[in-house]
Amino acid sequence: MFFAVFGILLLASQVIAETHSPALNLMPWPASIKPATGSLPIDPTFTVVLKGSDPRLQSVAEIFLNDLRRHTGMLATNLQVATGSQAGQLEIQSNAASKNPQQLGEDESYTLTVTPVKAELTAPTTLGVMRGLQTFLQLVEVSPQGFVVPAITIDDKPRFEWRGLMIDSSRHFMPVDVIERNLDAMAAVKLNVFHWHLSDNQGFRVESKKFPKLQEMGSDGLYYTQEQVRDIIAYAHERGIRVVPEFDMPGHSTSWLVGYPDLASNPGPYSIGREFGVFDPAMDPTRDSTYKFLDKFIGEMAKLFPDQFFHIGGDEVNGKAWDSNPKIQEFMHAHGMKSNNDLQAYFTRRVQKIVAKYGKTMEGWDEILLPEIPKDVVIQSWRGQKSLADAAHQGYRGILSSGYYLDLINPTSAHYAVDPFTGPTASLSDADKQKILGGEACMWAEYVSPENVDSRIWPRMAAIAERLWSPQNITDINSMYERLSAVNTWLDAVGVTQNTQYNMMLRRMAGDDDIGALRELVDLLEPVKGYSRYQLATTKPTSLTPMNRVVDTARPESIKAREFAGLVNAFVAGPIKPGMEAELRAQLTAWKSNAENLQPLAAKSWFVQEVMPQSQNLSSLSAAALQALDYLDRGEKPPAGWEQQQLTLVQQAYQPKAQVLLMVCPAIQKLIQYSAGTQVTELAIPQRAAE
Ligand code: ACM
């Protein structure tokens, strides 16, 4: 399947498949790849030679070697950088320095050639060198001779110039180490924009020296000092990542109003928001004092954040604060404004002038796309691809986020299928298509803490990174999942914690080291999808609710359930291959005793007790599926009523409990239907998000 997509590469890939097993685990998949024979050893004397005049190459090479040490377990005294005419195993040549601050659209292409004797990496700019070095790191594999990189030639360049991840540091504060390790992982999959959502109702997260009550009263003490912000920007820059700050206004702004209630449309006092959703408070767009404040504030932040782009949010203003203030109504009337949209457009135009005054290009969510907004603003589309198409058609540059919301807990395949150039954007003219800069995934932080945020971003983000970097025809789902699995493990060495924290959280919930049965169950569970976590909760979650339960631990996508479904799909499609049924039986037999095996932990832990109904369902469904196989083996039709009874059980088992879903239900339904000789159908996921 994997090789079939790359038809023309079939022959060459077979060569590599023979000499190197498994196949190349590159993600994003490069634009062009020609495997060769043999491999280059990575041994403790491995030396990097720098060619090219950019002094920055030295630190780029040091960061690379540090990464290589993490991927191989070698020491700081191993793996060196040399310059000039010295010999080495990896020669790096950058033809020009990249810019500081990094600019949108800089050349990121590179060529990497590896032979059994040496590797050469050349790029028009140092940014291309960074991208090529990440490819080199992904090529490192273990062999009978130790670590090697397979011989290969790769010519690569990105499809889109804007490939981003947004992290919401407001709803839950994400400390510096969380941001830095995620920047490392972003660099590892060639992302180039970190969009930092720094203020919202639940917290104002940056130190302002001009308006210190913003962080002092709006953050619970959880904010980044300007020094930390500068460090993070430098850290990102060293990895080829731009940092775009977002200060959300005029809505999503309650945390500003705690210290500065005069900014608001209604009298205070205000307190930090704890709940989630759309809040009523909004800044007052009718008063000059609001713009005086914003001028000073944006001036300060425009200096702190060197990027060309400055995001002002602009989303989800419900207008209630404006409707209820007679002075605002009078103002609107006097200026011939017929709707709150007109008032928001007025606000946006005035703020845009301020942003432009400080030399920046304004960016905002698609709600800012209102009449008379200057054409140089960038629209971030979150409400659907149509708004991206509309923006491009009207001459605005845009980036796609709709379809890339990681907080909706959708499977990787769903995000992977979303392309900035399909759907309503597909019919745009080539000139309009040029306006679409790329895409950005969004990690909204209602339900993530510093502890589990990585598990909601990774590894799914890597597949979105591929969508934004690789050629449009790289779409094979099976190949993606195969490589994603390897990249997920590889990311452990990069430093993100989606795998390590999973085990830690399981042990903590169990109060025990022996987590085999709990892990067996949680491996098959996923958090409920979309916004149903909020809808299902009997006590509404807030930013103070602990995130230490199974729903916070279970991965967004159960790979075990996906693999089991693959096996069942093959089994019911036939012809049945030898060993298939034995594999199904072994799996089902293990799951059948889950409830019994988990009971001792449930007896001592509330967290385990909470998912015992899921465990009991897993056991009963596995028993039903084994019965189904028995009927098939005996060539017997199940007795009247059996199928209906089992299907009812499956339906019930697939309902959310403790805000998690048991993901083996659809496959088990298929086994039951198959043995009963009825049509095999796909069970729809309950409470699926509107995407
Ligand atoms: C958004 O999700 N309100 C941008």
The domains of the chain, with CATH numbers, are 2-156 (3.30.379.10), 162-500 (3.20.20.80), 501-676 (no CATH)
CB-based contact 91:112 (threshold 8 Å): no
Q: Is the CB of 674 under 6 A from ligand 1?
A: no
| Long-range contacts at 141-146 (CB < 8 A, ≥ 24 apart) | 141/20, 141/25, 143/20, 143/39, 145/39, 145/41, 146/41, 146/42, 146/43
Model confidence band, residue 78 (pLDDT cutoffs 50, 70, 90) = confident
Residues 316-341 have a mean pLDDT of: 98
Task: Flag whether pLDDT at 137 surpasses 50.
Answer: yes
Distance 620 CA to ligand 1 centre (A): 41
Which H or E element spans position 228?
A: helix 226-238
Nearest CA to ligand 1 atom 2: 382
Nearest CA to ligand 1 atom 3: 315
107-440-230 Cα angle (round to 5): 70
Dist. CA 301–CA 644, nearest whole Å: 63
Distance 330 CA to ligand 1 centre (A): 30
Residues 153-167 have a mean pLDDT of: 98
Q: Is the CB of 276 under 6 A from ligand 1?
A: no
Write down the catalytic residue from 161, 216, 275, 316.
316
Dist. CA 130–CA 110, nearest whole Å: 9
Dist. CA 579–CA 461, nearest whole Å: 35
Distance 442 CA to ligand 1 centre (A): 9
Task: Flag whether pLDDT at 20 surpasses 60.
Answer: no
DSSP 8-state secondary structure symbol assigned to residue 110: E
What's the distance, Cα to Cα, between the start and end of the chain in Å? Answer: 28
In the residue annotation, 316 being an active-site residue is answered as: yes
Residues in the chain: 691
Query: In the prediction, which pLDDT does 371 show?
Result: 87
Query: In the prediction, which pLDDT does 574 show?
Result: 86
Token pair for 686: 């309950």
Q: Is the CB of 383 under 6 A from ligand 1?
A: no
| Long-range contacts at 501-509 (CB < 8 A, ≥ 24 apart) | 501/451, 501/452, 501/454, 501/455, 502/455, 502/553, 502/555, 505/451, 505/452, 505/548, 505/552, 505/553, 506/553, 508/548, 509/548, 509/549, 509/550, 509/553, 509/605, 509/607, 509/608
The ligand 1 atom nearest the CA atom of 380: 4
Query: In the prediction, which pLDDT does 188 show?
Result: 98
Query: In the prediction, which pLDDT does 461 show?
Result: 98
pTM attached to this predicted model: 0.95
Per-residue pLDDT tens digits for 354-410: 999 999 999 999 999 998 999 999 999 999 999 999 999 999 999 999 999 999 999
Dist. CA 186–CA 167, nearest whole Å: 12
Q: Partners of 224 in the beta sheet?
A: 206
143-157, 287-301, 572-586: which has the minimum mean pLDDT? 572-586
* β 119-123/90-94 pair status: parallel
Query: In the prediction, which pLDDT does 10 show?
Result: 38
Query: Up-side HSE of residue 56: CA atoms within 13 Å toward CB?
Result: 20
Distance 204 CA to ligand 1 centre (A): 17
Pocket test residue of 317, 382, 383, 388 for ligand 1, highest count of atoms within 8 A of CB: 382
Whole-number average pLDDT of the chain:
94
Query: Up-side HSE of residue 564: CA atoms within 13 Å toward CB?
Result: 25
Dist. CA 44–CA 505, nearest whole Å: 36
Model confidence band, residue 449 (pLDDT cutoffs 50, 70, 90) = very high
CB-based contact 12:481 (threshold 8 Å): no
Query: In the prediction, which pLDDT does 687 show?
Result: 65
Task: Flag whether pLDDT at 690 surpasses 70.
Answer: no
Q: Is the CB of 315 under 6 A from ligand 1?
A: yes
The ligand 1 atom nearest the CA atom of 252: 3
Pocket test residue of 388, 443, 444, 446 for ligand 1, highest count of atoms within 8 A of CB: 444
Distance 479 CA to ligand 1 centre (A): 32
Query: In the prediction, which pLDDT does 479 show?
Result: 96
